[in-house]
Amino acid sequence: MPLHDISYKHWHGLRLGVWRRRAAIAKNGLSACLQVRWMMNLVVLCWGLGLAAAAILFLVGQLLVDDSAVSQWVATFVNPLASSLAKNLTSWLKDHPEISVSSAQNVLFYYLGLWLMRVSIFALGPIIPLLITRDLACNAIVIYSSKAVTRGDYLLGKFATVFGFLALTWLGPVCASWILGNLLAPDWSFFWHARVALENILIYGLISMAVLSVLALGVSASSANAKSTTALWFTWWILGAVIEPIALHTSPWLRHLGFGFDINQIALHCFRVGENLTVAQKEIPFLDHIRPDTIAALNSPQLTGTVLALTVMIAAAVWIILQRVKPE
């Protein structure tokens, strides 16, 4: 027909289920997070760090191979005495894969995870207002509530937003680093020996990402002012970091008030880096210079206090969220 009808049309197509709607909220949130200035740069930095860790793994792996280019380079350019010492060390390491591969990767990924977690927490600062704060300021909750989603769906979607963001800045780079590093290793057995490290990464990662997500949502819901919530996040983090060394000698329990400290304790408990270093110290003379109190600290995660503190913080965050995020 010559004239086309462009008036209002009814929709008779399918309507998707509730999980797709939750996914829509998460996706929307995540793309908003990535549009923040410098955020893509930070994400690239995280992946870069992961790549660097994989490179280190590759180099360490190459050291264990006799005729590899790396060991030849070491032999040529480093002091010949050190070179022969290294050769002895190398052969010893080949006989003890639980130290050379398992422990080494465990320690490496502990420190990689630690640093990436710091970058992630820093990156969360500008993200916090985009979660719930902005919605509170613009009364968006009313719009969400009038659509086919409940408050629970909304919060689930927002949780997935933060969790997904942390997966981009932490879990993704660390796991990719593990895979790449072991892929580039001289032997397939590296995957098997390094499984402990992967287990620890996943347990620590998933728990701490979940905890951080809830805390971030709680801070986000605490005010309708974007600057306040970002400031609260950074203040809490930095204050915790500042109190930690001071409170060690006065009231150690105070350290648990900073979520950074508690997340670290979880890492310590998962990775058991102290044990690795103690065992290694016995065998490798080079490692004597590590101070005993460092080893002692690494060996004693304050788990009870951590669990208690995090439970209280999570409960408080959930309470704040439920109070502030109301449909009307």
Partner 1 sequence: MSAQPVIETQALSKVFGNQKALDAVSVAVAPGAIGLLGPNGAGKTTFIKCLLQLQPITSGSAKLLGREVGAEGREIRKRVGYTPELDCHIPGMAGCEYVTYCAQLCGLPFQAARQRAHEMLDYVGMGQERYRKIDTYSTGMKQRLKLAQAIVHDPEIVFLDEPANGLDPKGQAQILELVQNLWRAYGITVVLSSHMLADVEQICEQIIIIARGRVLVHDSLANLKARRRGSAEVVVAGRHEDLQAACARRQWPCELLPSGHLKVAHGSPSLNPLLSLLDEIHLAPLEIIPSPNALEEAFIQALEISHAAP
Binding site for partner 1 (CB under 8 A): 6-11, 13-18, 20-21, 24-25, 28, 32, 130, 134-135, 137-140, 142-150, 153, 327-328
Between 48 and 327, name the residue whose CB sits nearer to partner 1: 327
Any residues with CB less than 8 A from the CB of 61 and at least 6 apart, and which?
Answer: 181, 184, 185, 186, 190
Q: How far apart are CA 120 and CA 207, in angstroms?
A: 15
Between 4 and 249, name the residue whose CB sits nearer to partner 1: 4
Question: What's the min distance (Å) between Cβ of 319 and partner 1?
Answer: 19
Residue 251 backbone phi and psi in degrees, to 5: -130, 95
Question: What's the min distance (Å) between Cβ of 30 and partner 1?
Answer: 13
User: Do residues 214 and 322 make contact, with C-beta atoms less than 8 angstroms apart?
Assistant: no
Single-letter residue type at 252: P
Between 7 and 76, name the residue whose CB sits nearer to partner 1: 7
Question: What's the min distance (Å) between Cβ of 21 and partner 1?
Answer: 6
For tokens 């197509």, name the residue.
Answer: 13
Question: What's the min distance (Å) between Cβ of 226 and partner 1?
Answer: 10
Q: How far apart are CA 268 and CA 286, in angstroms?
A: 23
Between 157 and 218, name the residue whose CB sits nearer to partner 1: 157
Which has the closest alpha carbon to 248: 236, 238, 258? 258
Question: What's the min distance (Å) between Cβ of 153 and partner 1?
Answer: 8
What are the strands, taking DSSP E only, across 129-236? none
Q: How far apart are CA 203 and CA 153, in angstroms?
A: 26
Measured from the Cβ of residue 203, the count of other Cβ atoms closer than 10 Å reads 15
Between 135 and 262, name the residue whose CB sits nearer to partner 1: 135
User: Do residues 258 and 244 make contact, with C-beta atoms less than 8 angstroms apart?
Assistant: yes
Between 141 and 243, name the residue whose CB sits nearer to partner 1: 141
User: Do residues 259 and 237 make contact, with C-beta atoms less than 8 angstroms apart?
Assistant: yes
Question: What's the min distance (Å) between Cβ of 137 and partner 1?
Answer: 7
For tokens 């669990």, name the residue.
Answer: 307
Q: How far apart are CA 63 and CA 45, in angstroms?
A: 27
Structure tokens at 250: 């006065």
Question: What's the min distance (Å) between Cβ of 299 and partner 1?
Answer: 47
Between 146 and 250, name the residue whose CB sits nearer to partner 1: 146
